[in-house]
């Protein structure tokens, strides 16, 4: 088992990464605050891993709410069902919420915890690659709105993150690829050495090699933890973590949540960001080809949906959270291993790199 720490003073917390961690009550129980627990999971994960988690909760007052599975359910209606459960069971401020599932479960549970009675504790138990390397770490919580992804949310840090790679054995291939997109992201935006390692090991990751999975998840989480420790609420450097996401969120919003998986949209979005970066003369054609090839080897799309137009992208990107005072900032690439958040790019080149 590997243990990392997100350093946020009195809100610091550990990330546990390894195999068979759901069998270890000593990782979970010390981080439960109070005597009541609500486990939030979904219809896919529940039959696989719920019993492992609840077996550690004897002696505590606990209940379970099972959400429908899918990005299309990451909305205010589903969030309200969690509030209703909390209220009906008279759960108070000493309740701990446990998010058992992928990024949707983690995001919506985290936001419920952030807002219920103005904030209760929660624990992340991510069960997908995407959630283990990205969404469970850093305290971003949110739900989607029909007009924009993750536009309603809060920063709320978990008590701990338990990333058991054993859960990845049941992950559909498409979900595995979606998570690999976020792994590749860390190499592009700030860790060139990791990018090279991924070029050498991507097939082993896709084959679920345990040692290499632990290494990739650990390295990704360390990259994110270092950035979050410096910029918890995305006032500066943390925005780098949105590489590919402005394009990707536009795809998800236009296509309908769940049609493209988040990681698939980010994969295509990172290629689009790389294409604009190359058009601006910041990266070489060789760099663009290396990025595109690695994303392809992760079995991800490298182009947006064929029926999306430049107008579709402009309309949806204009509502992105990185728009400040009407100016769209993008995460672009200076070189493999170095990204920048900037509005200083030729607008004609942005339009030229969008689909016609």
Cite the active site residues. 118, 140, 182, 224, 234, 238, 242, 245, 249, 262
- CA 17 from centroid of its chain's CA atoms: 16
How far apart are alpha carbons 189 and 220 in whole angstroms? Answer: 11
Number of CB atoms found within 10 A of residue 152's CB: 15
**Which ranges of 95-209 would DSSP assign to H, the alpha helix?**
103-115, 129-130, 173-190, 192-206
Q: Is 193 within 8 Å of 284 (Cβ atoms)?
A: no
How far apart are alpha carbons 36 and 57 in whole angstroms? Answer: 9
Half-sphere exposure of residue 109: CA atoms within 13 angstroms, side-chain side: 33
Element spanning 324, H or E: strand 323-324
How far apart are alpha carbons 338 and 259 in whole angstroms? Answer: 31
Residue 38 tokens read as 């609500």
- By the 10 Å C-beta count (0-12 exposed, 13-18 middle, 19+ buried), 247 is classed as buried
Residue 61 tokens read as 């007052």
Evaluate the CA torsion angle 254, 257, 259, 261 in order and state its sign. positive
DSSP 8-state symbol, 197: H
Only one residue has tokens 């983690």, namely 106
Non-local CB neighbours of 307 within 8 Å, separated by 6+ positions: none
DSSP 8-state symbol, 325: T
């Amino acid at each position: 088992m590997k243990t990392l720490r997100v350093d946020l003073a009195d809100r610091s917390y550990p990330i546990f990464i390894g195999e068979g961690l759901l069998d270890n009550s000593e990782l979970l129980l010390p981080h439960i605050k109070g005597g009541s627990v609500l486990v939030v999971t979904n219809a896919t994960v529940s039959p696989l891993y719920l019993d492992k988690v609840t077996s550690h909760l004897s002696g505590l007052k606990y209940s379970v709410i099972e959400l429908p599975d899918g990005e299309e359910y990451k909305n205010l209606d589903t969030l309200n069902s969690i509030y209703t459960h909390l209220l009906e069971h008279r759960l108070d401020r000493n309740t701990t919420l446990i998010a058992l599932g992928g990024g949707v479960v983690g995001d919506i549970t985290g936001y419920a915890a952030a807002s219920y009675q103005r904030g209760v504790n929660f624990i992340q138990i991510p069960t997908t690659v995407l959630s283990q390397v990205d969404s469970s770490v850093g305290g971003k919580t949110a739900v989607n709105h029909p007009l924009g992804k993750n536009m309603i949310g809060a920063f709320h840090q978990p008590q701990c993150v338990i990333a058991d790679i054993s859960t990845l054995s049941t992950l559909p291939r498409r979900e595995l690829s979606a998570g690999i997109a976020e792994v590749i992201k860390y190499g592009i935006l700030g860790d060139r050495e990791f990018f090279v390692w991924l070029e050498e090991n991507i097939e082993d990751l896709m084959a679920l090699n345990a040692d290499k999975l632990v290494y990739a998840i650990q390295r990704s989480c360390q990259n994110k933890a270092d950035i979050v420790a410096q910029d918890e609420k995305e006032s500066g450097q943390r925005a780098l973590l949105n590489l590919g996401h402005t394009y990707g969120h536009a795809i998800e919003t236009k296509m309908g949540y769940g049609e493209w998986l988040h990681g698939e949209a980010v994969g295509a979005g990172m290629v689009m960001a790389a294409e604009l970066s190359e058009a601006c003369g910041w990266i070489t054609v060789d760099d663009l080809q290396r990025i595109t090839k690695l994303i392809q080897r992760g079995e991800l799309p490298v182009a947006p949906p064929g029926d999306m137009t430049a107008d579709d992208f402009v309309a949806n990107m204009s509502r992105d959270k990185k728009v400040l005072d009407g100016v769209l900032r993008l995460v672009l690439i200076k070189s493999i291993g170095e990204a920048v958040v900037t509005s200083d790019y030729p607008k004609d080149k942005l339009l030229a790199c969008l689909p016609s």
